[in-house]
C-alpha cells in the first residue's frame, strides 16, 4: 500500500478514505467517456451517444460481468451517493445552460399553432402506444406495488420525450435552425418535454401516496415558480446583463450569481417535487438574453459541466443498467414491443403531421427522425422513476437501450430522408460537430 494510503488508513479519517475511493472512480469515468465519445465522433454520431454507451459499459452489463471485483473496488457502495450528488448538480447546471442558450426572438405568425400541432402529433401517438404496451406488459415488467395504470402511463410518458438539446445541435450544425421545419421542431420538442415532465410529476405524487390533490398542488406550485422566475427573477437579473454590456466580462460577483441562481432554483423545485433539473432550466430562461452574455456564460461553464459532470450522470445510470436482464424470449419480445411503440409513435406521428402542414415528404420524415431521438432527456426521466421505485431494473435497462438506439438512429435517418444537397435554407457555413449537451444552440444562432 502506498505511504499516503497507509497514513490515511491509520488515521481513521473517513473523509480522506472516501476521497481515495471517489477520485479513482471519476478518473475511470472520464477516461471511458472520453474514449467512447471520440469513437462516436469517428462514426458521425454525437459525442454524447458515446458517453451514454460508456456509462452502460461501466455497469454490470460489461465491466461488472467481466471484472466484478474490479468494478466493486472502483464503484463501491459508499461512492455511489457521491456520484448521484455530482450528477444531479451536473444535470441542473446543464439544463440551466440549455435554458440560457435559448433565444426568444420574434415568431412567425401562426408558428405557435403549428408547433403545437407537431408537438401533439409526437406526444399523443407515442403516449397512446406506450400506454398500450405498458398495460399489456404490466404483469411482466412492473413492480408489485405499482398499479397497471401508473406503470402504463410511465412507459408512455418516457416514450413521448424528445432530446431537445440534441435536436437543436443537429439543426444548428446543418444551418437549419431558422428554417420553418427547424423552428417548428425546436418549439414542438420543448412542448413535448414539458408535457412529459408534468405527467411525471403526477405519477410521482400518486406513487408516493400523496394522491391527485397533492399532484395538482405540485403542478400549481411549479407553474407559480415558473412565473416567479420568468417575471420577477428575470427583472432582478437585468443589472447583471447591463453590467456585462458595460464591462464585456463576467466578473467574480457575476459568476457567484450565475451559479447560485440555478442551484437555488433546483433546490426549490426539488422541494416542490418536480426534480432539480426543472429549476435549472427555468433559471436559464431567466438569464439576460444578450447573445454576447450567453456566449460568455457558455465559455465559462460548459467545459466543466459537459466534460466532468455529465459523464458522471451517464455512469450513475449505467451502474443501474443490466442489459443481461433483457434475455429470454419473453423479455426480448417485451423490449421489442416498447421499442416499436416508441419509434412508430414519434417518427410517423411527427412525419405525417408535418406533411399535413404542407411540407414535403422528405422534410417530414427528416423531422420525424429528429423528434424521435430521446438522448439525455429520457435518462433523466427514468432515473427519477427508478429512484422513487416506480419501475424495475429490467424496464430501466430497456428504456436505456431505447434511448441509445433512437439517439443513434436519428442522424442516419435524417440524412436518408433529407440528403445535404436537398436541405432547404441551409446556412453557407458548415459548423464543426460538438457534444450533444451543448446549449450553444439557439433559434437565433450560435454561441461559440
Q: What mean pLDDT do residues 273-292 have?
A: 84
Categorize the per-residue pLDDT at 1 as very low, low, confident or very high, splitting at 50, 70 and 90.
Answer: low
Residue 169 lies in a domain: yes
CA distance linking residue 157 with residue 194, whole number of Å: 11
Categorize the per-residue pLDDT at 104 as very low, low, confident or very high, splitting at 50, 70 and 90.
Answer: low
Residue 123 lies in a domain: yes
Residue 431 lies in a domain: no
Instruction: Give Rg (Cα) of the chain.
Output: 22
Residue 442 lies in a domain: no
Same structural domain, 61 and 84: no
143: CB partners within 8 A, 6+ apart: 151, 389, 390, 391, 392
Same structural domain, 142 and 112: yes
**Residue 208, pLDDT above cutoff 80:** no
Q: Residue 376 maps to which CATH number?
A: 1.20.1530.20
Percent of the chain with pLDDT over 70: 84
Q: Which residue has the higher pLDDT, 244 or 5?
A: 244
Of the CA atoms within 13 Å of residue 320, those in its CB half-sphere come to 26
Nearest to 278 by CA among 290, 270, 286: 270
pLDDT tens-digit profile of 391-417?
A: 888 899 899 999 889 888 888 898 888
Same structural domain, 10 and 132: no
**Residue 107, pLDDT above cutoff 70:** no
Same structural domain, 303 and 408: yes
Indicate the number of domains in the chain: 2
Residue 440 lies in a domain: no
Question: Residue 274 CA to chain centroid, in angstroms?
Answer: 15
CA distance linking residue 68 with residue 249, whole number of Å: 49
CA distance linking residue 387 with residue 313, whole number of Å: 14
Domain boundary among 25, 58, 74: 74
- Degrees to nearest 5, angle at CA 438 with 435 and 443: 125
Q: Which residue has the higher pLDDT, 377 or 334?
A: 334
**Residue 429, pLDDT above cutoff 50:** no
**Residue 447, pLDDT above cutoff 70:** no
235 burial via Cβ count (<10 Å: 0-12, 13-18, 19+): exposed
pLDDT for 109:
59
Residue 447 lies in a domain: no
110 burial via Cβ count (<10 Å: 0-12, 13-18, 19+): exposed
CA distance linking residue 444 with residue 182, whole number of Å: 11
Q: Which residue has the higher pLDDT, 137 or 114?
A: 137
pLDDT for 435:
41
Q: What mean pLDDT do residues 34-52 have?
A: 87
421: CB partners within 8 A, 6+ apart: none
Structural domain boundaries enclosing 139: 80-422
Residue 429 lies in a domain: no
pLDDT for 434:
40
How much is the pTM? 0.77
Q: Supply the DSSP symbol for 323.
A: G
In this structure, of 127-131, 177-181, 238-242, 364-368, the range with the lowest mean pLDDT score is 177-181
Domain boundary among 74, 98, 125: 74
Same structural domain, 103 and 52: no
pLDDT for 103:
59
Same structural domain, 262 and 136: yes
In this structure, of 149-163, 333-347, 370-384, 424-438, the range with the lowest mean pLDDT score is 424-438
pLDDT, mean over the chain: 81
**Residue 52, pLDDT above cutoff 80:** yes
Same structural domain, 111 and 209: yes
Same structural domain, 274 and 412: yes
User: Of the segments 16-20, 241-245, 345-349, which one has the largest average pLDDT value?
Assistant: 345-349
CA distance linking residue 48 with residue 305, whole number of Å: 13
pLDDT tens-digit profile of 141-199?
A: 888 888 899 899 999 999 988 877 667 666 766 666 667 777 788 778 878 877 777 78
Same structural domain, 11 and 129: no
Same structural domain, 85 and 151: yes
pLDDT for 6:
61
Are 308 and 30 within 8 A, CB to CB? yes
pLDDT for 259:
93
Residue 132 lies in a domain: yes
**Residue 106, pLDDT above cutoff 50:** no
- Residues 399/78/61/345 CA torsion (nearest 10 deg): 10
Of the CA atoms within 13 Å of residue 113, those in its CB half-sphere come to 4
Same structural domain, 187 and 40: no
Categorize the per-residue pLDDT at 246 as very low, low, confident or very high, splitting at 50, 70 and 90.
Answer: confident
Same structural domain, 307 and 223: yes
Amino acid at each position: 500500500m502506498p505511504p499516503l494510503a497507509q497514513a490515511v488508513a491509520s488515521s481513521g479519517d473517513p473523509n480522506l478514505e472516501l476521497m481515495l475511493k471517489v477520485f479513482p472512480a471519476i478518473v475511470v469515468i472520464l477516461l471511458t467517456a472520453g474514449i467512447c465519445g471520440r469513437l462516436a465522433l469517428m462514426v458521425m454520431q454525437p459525442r454524447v451517444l458515446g458517453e451514454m454507451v460508456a456509462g452502460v459499459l461501466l455497469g454490470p452489463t460489461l465491466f461488472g460481468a467481466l471484472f466484478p471485483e474490479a468494478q466493486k473496488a472502483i464503484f463501491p457502495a459508499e461512492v455511489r451517493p457521491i456520484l448521484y450528488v455530482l450528477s444531479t448538480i451536473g444535470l441542473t447546471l446543464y439544463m440551466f445552460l440549455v435554458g440560457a442558450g435559448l433565444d426568444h426572438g420574434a415568431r412567425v405568425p401562426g408558428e405557435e399553432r403549428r408547433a403545437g400541432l407537431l408537438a401533439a402529433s409526437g406526444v399523443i401517438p407515442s403516449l397512446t402506444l406506450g400506454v398500450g404496451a405498458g398495460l399489456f406488459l404490466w404483469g411482466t415488467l412492473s413492480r408489485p406495488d405499482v398499479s397497471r395504470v401508473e406503470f402504463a402511463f410511465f412507459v408512455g410518458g418516457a416514450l413521448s420525450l424528445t432530446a431537445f438539446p440534441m435536436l437543436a445541435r443537429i439543426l444548428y450544425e446543418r444551418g437549419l435552425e431558422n428554417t420553418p421545419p427547424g423552428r417548428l421542431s425546436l418549439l414542438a420538442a420543448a412542448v413535448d418535454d414539458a408535457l412529459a415532465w408534468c405527467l411525471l410529476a403526477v405519477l410521482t405524487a400518486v406513487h408516493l401516496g400523496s394522491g391527485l390533490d397533492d399532484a395538482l398542488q405540485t403542478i400549481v406550485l411549479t407553474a407559480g415558480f415558473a412565473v416567479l422566475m420568468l417575471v420577477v427573477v428575470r427583472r432582478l437579473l437585468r443589472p447583471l446583463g447591463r453590467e456585462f454590456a458595460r464591462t464585456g466580462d463576467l466578473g467574480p460577483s457575476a459568476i457567484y450569481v450565475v451559479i447560485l441562481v440555478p442551484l437555488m432554483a433546483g433546490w426549490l423545485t426539488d422541494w416542490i417535487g418536480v426534480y432539480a433539473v426543472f429549476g435549472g432550466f427555468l433559471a436559464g430562461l431567466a438569464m439576460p438574453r444578450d447573445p454576447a452574455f450567453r456566449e460568455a456564460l457558455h465559455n465559462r461553464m460548459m467545459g466543466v459541466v459537459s466534460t466532468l459532470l455529465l459523464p458522471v450522470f451517464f455512469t450513475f445510470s449505467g451502474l443501474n443498467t443490466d442489459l443481461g436482464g433483457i434475455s429470454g424470449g419473453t423479455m426480448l419480445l417485451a423490449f421489442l414491443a416498447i421499442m416499436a411503440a416508441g419509434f412508430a409513435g414519434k417518427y410517423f406521428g411527427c412525419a405525417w403531421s408535418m406533411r399535413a402542414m404542407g411540407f414535403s415528404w422528405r422534410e417530414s420524415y427528416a423531422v420525424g427522425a429528429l423528434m424521435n431521438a430521446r438522448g439525455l432527456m429520457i435518462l433523466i426521466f427514468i432515473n427519477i422513476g427508478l429512484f422513487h421505485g416506480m419501475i424495475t431494473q429490467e424496464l430501466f435497462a430497456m428504456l436505456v437501450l431505447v434511448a441509445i438506439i433512437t439517439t443513434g438512429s436519428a442522424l442516419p435517418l435524417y440524412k436518408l430522408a433529407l440528403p445535404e444537397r436537398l436541405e432547404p435554407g441551409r446556412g453557407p457555413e458548415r459548423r464543426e460537430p460538438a457534444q450533444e449537451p451543448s446549449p450553444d444552440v439557439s433559434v437565433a444562432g450560435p454561441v461559440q
